[in-house]
A and B are shown apart, each in its own frame.
Chain A
Amino acid sequence: MWESFYQQFITYDGYKLVLQGLQNTLIIALVGLVIGIVLGTLVAVIHVAGTRSKVARVFAVVGDVYTTLFRGTPIVVQLLVFHFVIFLPLQLNIPGVWESVIVFGLNSGAYVSEIMRGGILSVDIGQTEAGRTLGLSFATTMLKIVFPQAIKNVIPTLGNELIAITKDTSVAGYVGTTDLTVAFSSLASNDYKIILPYIFLALVYLVIVIIFTVIIRLVERRLRKSERR
């Protein structure tokens, strides 16, 4: 069993495939989350602003539709729809990884928007009022006062989202992206010795998630520190 795995992994250059898969998985998860955070924050702010401005309210409805669509359908379905209904017919020659990045980013944005909205609402309204009465615009107040405080409150939940998206990337193979799962699966299918590759696959995901968890905890502690000085 071990020899076979060793052979597949080292002798037949399986590790290159795995490294490729690891790289793709991390790209999809991290870039996807960054896109998700930007998108989600945008949707959340518009939603919050929608209570006071009619123009923003129109955009808020658009945001609601977006959130509903992407939270209401499975990620695999979204990948397939984007791949076969949008990217292929339009002949957009986007590399498979970036196709997945886009879909995962859009998907994550829908979840992050709710996280961010909660974060913004968790900051006392008095902070906004104080900013506005000093003559700062709504945007400036958000950017300089509300966001920095909201971010601290949402870091644990965002960490959750990072972990969730990392594991979700295992379905990127549906549209031909070589991610970790695809890489290990092909190792397994080369000689049908399937046990070790899949155990290692699980272990790699586990290690990635543990590393992320530690990083998130450090970031959170660091952000909180500034308050105690």
Chain B
Amino acid sequence: MKGAETLSAAEQARTKVQKPKFAKTEKTPVEPVDPDALIEVQHLTKRYGDLVVLDDISEKVYPGEKVAIIGPSGGGKSTFLRCLNVLEDPTDGYVFFEGNNLCDLKVDINLQRRRMGMVFQQFNLFNNMNVLDNITLAPIHVAMQDIRRARFRQVFHKKGDSEKQNTAPEVEIRSKKQVKEEAEARAMQLLSRIGLADKAKVYPSTLSGGQRQRIAIVRALAMNPKVMLFDEPTSALDPEMVGEVLALIKELADEGMTMVIVTHEMGFAREVATRVLFMAGGKIAEQGPPAQIFGAPQNERLREFLSKVL
């Protein structure tokens, strides 16, 4: 449609802006980025007007880590998670994913987000598509996009100018049909894994919360992400369905998926996490291995919080 073209132009213009978006960040020079960290945030601050939600947070997530974020509501947990893939624009500070500055408008955020799966509290399955289309939409679309771009490069950078060609990812040129079949095969494989292969053609509105959330997880997995971000994945579920979703997340964790989970399931955090962050008042008030956080909490607010929820 016409609207889309104009917008993609606007979007392109957005990514082309040369001026750094955060003039304030010039005051805090970029510190060296840890090459081993998968996600690194530096002096992350988020303000809504006068309300400081995140207050100068610096943190790293290494590959293979399972980071659980706990804390009272309003403490900035969700906002922190949503800043990791800049779904929420930080007011100040930097977010790096594999060394790429996500706050830099020159970095193609869509390319980075492909490798960061996210699962929401409200599932957010696409209501206008059946389960299979929900899962295959993004894989097919981005694959075709890459192929189109590769074709474009082939035509316009035939010889010479090989520098750009070399830096671009190698893309195998396939027909849309092939791409679609591959994506669907992968989707069916993932669906069978969670035992919902028979639901491939139904619409999300007919499924239970637990089924929807597991499909949402699988939808994120279909993009082969390097990290999964879970935003209270079980908070909107009936108690009897919490188990099946947590079991799937645990399975992923056991397979070595890097994940950041905002959760109120303390037992789960204790069992699965390699590191627990306690967030309160926009800061990481205390962090450490689960045994230490739950067994020997130092912070006064953490002790108070745990006494209420455990």
A41 to B3, CA, bound (A): 7
Nearest-CB distance from B305 to chain A (Å)? 28
Given contacts A126-B124, A132-B87, A226-B203, contact A137 B14 (CB under 8 A): no
The reply to whether B124 and A134 form a contact with Cβ atoms under 8 Å apart is no
Task: Name the residue on A nearest B121 (C-beta).
Answer: A126
> Is A194's beta carbon under 8 Å from chain B?
no
The reply to whether A134 and B10 form a contact with Cβ atoms under 8 Å apart is no
Q: What residues on B are CB-neighbors of A44 within 8 Å?
A: 3
Partner of A226, one of B7, B124, B128, B223: B128
> Is B220's beta carbon under 8 Å from chain A?
yes
Given contacts A140-B141, A144-B137, A145-B128, contact A134 B113 (CB under 8 A): yes
The reply to whether B223 and A139 form a contact with Cβ atoms under 8 Å apart is no
The reply to whether A55 and B120 form a contact with Cβ atoms under 8 Å apart is no
> Is A133's beta carbon under 8 Å from chain B?
yes
What 0/1 readout, one digit per residue, does chain B (104-130) give for beta carbons within 8 Å of chain A?
000000111111111010101111101
The reply to whether A133 and B3 form a contact with Cβ atoms under 8 Å apart is no
What 0/1 readout, one digit per residue, does chain A (114-135) give for beta carbons within 8 Å of chain B?
0000000000101101111111
> Is A110's beta carbon under 8 Å from chain B?
no
Q: What residues on A are CB-neighbors of B8 within 8 Å?
A: 137-139
Task: Name the residue on A nearest B112 (C-beta).
Answer: A135
The reply to whether A135 and B10 form a contact with Cβ atoms under 8 Å apart is no
A42 to B120, CA, bound (A): 29
Task: Name the residue on B nearest A53 (C-beta).
Answer: B14
> Is B202's beta carbon under 8 Å from chain A?
yes
Nearest-CB distance from A52 to chain B (Å)? 8
The reply to whether B1 and A143 form a contact with Cβ atoms under 8 Å apart is yes
Q: What residues on A are CB-neighbors of B31 within 8 Å?
A: none
Q: What residues on A are CB-neighbors of B216 within 8 Å?
A: 130
Nearest-CB distance from A91 to chain B (Å)? 29
> Is B85's beta carbon under 8 Å from chain A?
yes
Q: What residues on A are CB-neighbors of B246 within 8 Å?
A: none
> Is B164's beta carbon under 8 Å from chain A?
no
Q: What residues on A are CB-neighbors of B125 within 8 Å?
A: 130
> Is A148's beta carbon under 8 Å from chain B?
yes
Given contacts A126-B120, A136-B138, A137-B8, contact A41 B14 (CB under 8 A): no
The reply to whether A142 and B110 form a contact with Cβ atoms under 8 Å apart is no
> Is A79's beta carbon under 8 Å from chain B?
no
The reply to whether B4 and A142 form a contact with Cβ atoms under 8 Å apart is yes
Partner of B113, one of A54, A56, A133: A133
Q: What residues on A are CB-neighbors of B117 within 8 Å?
A: 133
A39 to B140, CA, bound (A): 30
> Is B171's beta carbon under 8 Å from chain A?
no
Task: Name the residue on B nearest A48 (C-beta).
Answer: B7
> Is B11's beta carbon under 8 Å from chain A?
yes
Q: What residues on B are CB-neighbors of A126 within 8 Å?
A: 120, 122, 124
> Is B6's beta carbon under 8 Å from chain A?
yes
Within residues 129 to 146 of chain B, which ones have a CB less than 8 A from any CB in chain A?
A: 130, 137-138, 141-142
Nearest-CB distance from B23 to chain A (Å)? 14
What 0/1 readout, one digit per residue, does chain A (12-48) give for beta carbons within 8 Å of chain B?
0000000000000000000000000010011011100
Nearest-CB distance from A127 to chain B (Å)? 6
> Is A80's beta carbon under 8 Å from chain B?
no
A95 to B138, CA, bound (A): 46
Partner of B118, one of A42, A53, A133, A139: A133
> Is B13's beta carbon under 8 Å from chain A?
yes
Q: What residues on A are CB-neighbors of B111 within 8 Å?
A: 135
Q: What residues on A are CB-neighbors of B178 within 8 Å?
A: none
Nearest-CB distance from B150 to chain A (Å)? 17
Task: Name the residue on A nearest B229 (C-beta).
Answer: A133
Given contacts A126-B124, A148-B128, A229-B203, contact A132 B7 (CB under 8 A): no
Within residues 140 to 164 of chain A, which ones have a CB less than 8 A from any CB in chain B?
A: 140, 142-145, 147-149, 152
Within residues 28 to 75 of chain B, which ones have a CB less than 8 A from any CB in chain A?
A: none
A143 to B128, CA, bound (A): 12
Q: What residues on B are CB-neighbors of A129 within 8 Å?
A: 87, 118, 120, 124
A34 to B281, CA, bound (A): 52
Q: What residues on A are CB-neighbors of B142 within 8 Å?
A: 135-136
Provide a sorted-by-A list of 7 A–B residue pairs whose CB atoms are within 8 angstroms.
A53-B11, A135-B223, A137-B8, A143-B4, A144-B141, A226-B128, A227-B127
Q: B residues bordering A, Cβ < 8 Å? A: 1-8, 10-11, 13-14, 85, 87, 110-118, 120, 122, 124-128, 130, 137-138, 141-142, 202-203, 205-206, 216, 219-220, 223
